[in-house]
Every structure is written in C-alpha cells, then in structure tokens.
C-alpha cells in the first residue's frame, strides 16, 4: 500500500484545463522580438567564448558561468519564438552566432583567419538575409 502526502494531488484528479481561465501574457512586438533575439545571441556568444576561456585556464567556475549564460540565451530564444518563425529565428541565431564567435576566436583567441573563412561567413549571412526577406 503506497502512501502519498496529504496535499499531493494525482494527475488524474486535476481539473480539466478548459475550466481554467486563460493566463494573461504580454506579447512582444516584432521589433522587441528581434531585439531580444539579438540580445540572446550576444549572451550565447559570450557563453561560448567563456567556455573556451574556461577550458584554456581550467576554471570550473568560469565554465559554470558559461553554462548559465547559454541557458539564459535559450530562454530568450524560446520567448522570441512566440513572434518569429522558428526557421527564421534559428537561422539568424546560428548565422549571427557563428559570425560573432568566429570573430571573437580571431580577435581574442588568436585563431587563424583566411579569405575563404570570410567568404563562407558572408555566404551564411546572405542565406539568413534571404530567409528573413522571404518571411516579410
């Protein structure tokens, strides 16, 4: 015989969702959503750069900060998806993030740069611009 805490209700005893009034949520404008997306991308890129730095110096605390930043950025992306199509948002996320992290790698971590790398990054950016224009 199993015992449960007196205040715990089993899922089968919960009322139907249709009996609850809808919750009020504030919706983002398209402009706010794009600003939040850009902010989330910046936070994610900071997290990626800190992850690299934490690996270089062997700092678990810095790695924990990087993980927290990445989780925060994913929350921002989740909020953005209420206003921006997932394909468009994720393409921008991936492309802008790739460009920023690659730039940080070159400028901060002295990673190599080449003309081909620049060409490929510009191709990624062109693809994302095309996706955004197709959803306008």
Give the chain's mean pLDDT: 86
Predicted structure pTM score: 0.75
Q: Would you call 60 exposed, middle or buried from its count of C-beta atoms within 10 A (0-12, 13-18, 19+)? A: exposed
Q: What is the pLDDT of residue 57?
A: 94
Burial class (CB in 10 A: 0-12, 13-18, 19+), 2: exposed
- 76-113: pLDDT as tens digits: 999 999 999 998 899 999 999 999 999 999 999 999 99
Side-chain-side CA neighbours of 10 within 13 Å: the count stands at 5
Q: What is the mean pLDDT of residues 101-130?
A: 94
Share above pLDDT 90 across residues of the chain, in percent, rounded to a whole number = 71
pLDDT > 50? residue 9: no
């Amino acid at each position: 015989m199993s015992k449960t805490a007196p205040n715990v209700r089993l899922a089968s005893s919960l009322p139907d969702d249709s009996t609850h009034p809808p919750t009020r949520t504030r919706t983002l404008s398209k402009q706010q959503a794009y600003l939040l997306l850009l902010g989330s991308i910046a936070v994610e890129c900071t997290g990626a750069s800190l992850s690299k730095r934490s690996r270089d110096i062997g700092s678990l605390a810095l790695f924990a900060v990087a993980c927290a930043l990445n989780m925060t950025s994913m929350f921002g992306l989740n909020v953005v998806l209420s206003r921006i199509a997932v394909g468009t948002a994720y393409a921008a996320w991936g492309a802008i993030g790739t460009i920023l992290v690659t730039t940080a790698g070159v400028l901060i971590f002295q990673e190599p740069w080449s003309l081909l790398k620049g060409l490929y990054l510009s191709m990624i950016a062109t693809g994302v611009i095309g996706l955004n224009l197709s959803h306008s």
